């Protein structure tokens, strides 16, 4: 059985925030590249598009906080269908700090929050 991932080893950060030395491995987890962000400025180590919410789910959610709980449930189900990408993220987190990079404005209601919870076994 694999050791649990410590919460301190998985950070969340907007793609529009500057990278820092404490970020560890920076992984973009959105299906689309963040608008207006240069790849050279983003300092992304890995881009895992397939772990992002499906286009249909992303459009349905539309970052509407009223749909947040249902989005969490549906996206957690989708994540579990991407076992390879989930295993890749877990392996990276076991090696050291990982920052899940996302483009959404709302830092409390976005796919990175759900993905982090799944990785932490919540």
| DSSP-assigned states of every residue in the chain | -PPPPPGGGEEEEETTSPP-GGG-EEEE--SSPPTT--HHHHT-SEE-GGGSPPHHHHHHHTT-GGGHHHHHHHHHHHHHT-HHHHHHHHHHHHHS-EEEEE--S-SSSSHHHHHHHHHTT-
In a domain, 2, yes or no: no
In a domain, 1, yes or no: no
* Number of compact structural domains in the chain: 1
In a domain, 75, yes or no: yes
How sure is the predictor about 2, in pLDDT bands with cuts at 50, 70 and 90? low
Predicted confidence (pLDDT) per residue in 24-62, tens digit: 999 999 999 999 999 988 999 999 999 999 999 999 999
pTM exceeds 0.85: yes
| Enclosing domain of residue 100 | 7-119
In a domain, 64, yes or no: yes
């Amino acid at each position: 059985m694999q050791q649990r991932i410590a919460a301190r080893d998985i950070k969340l950060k907007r793609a529009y925030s500057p990278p820092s030395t404490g970020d560890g491995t920076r992984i973009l987890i959105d299906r689309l590249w963040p608008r207006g962000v240069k790849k050279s400025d983003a300092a992304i180590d890995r881009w895992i598009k397939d772990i992002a919410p499906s286009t249909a789910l992303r459009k349905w959610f539309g970052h509407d906080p009223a749909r947040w709980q249902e989005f969490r449930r549906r996206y957690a189900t989708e994540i579990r269908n991407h076992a390879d990408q989930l295993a890749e993220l877990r392996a990276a987190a076991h090696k050291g700090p990982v920052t899940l990079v996302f483009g959404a404005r709302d830092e409390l209601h976005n796919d990175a929050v759900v993905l982090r919870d799944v990785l932490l076994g919540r």
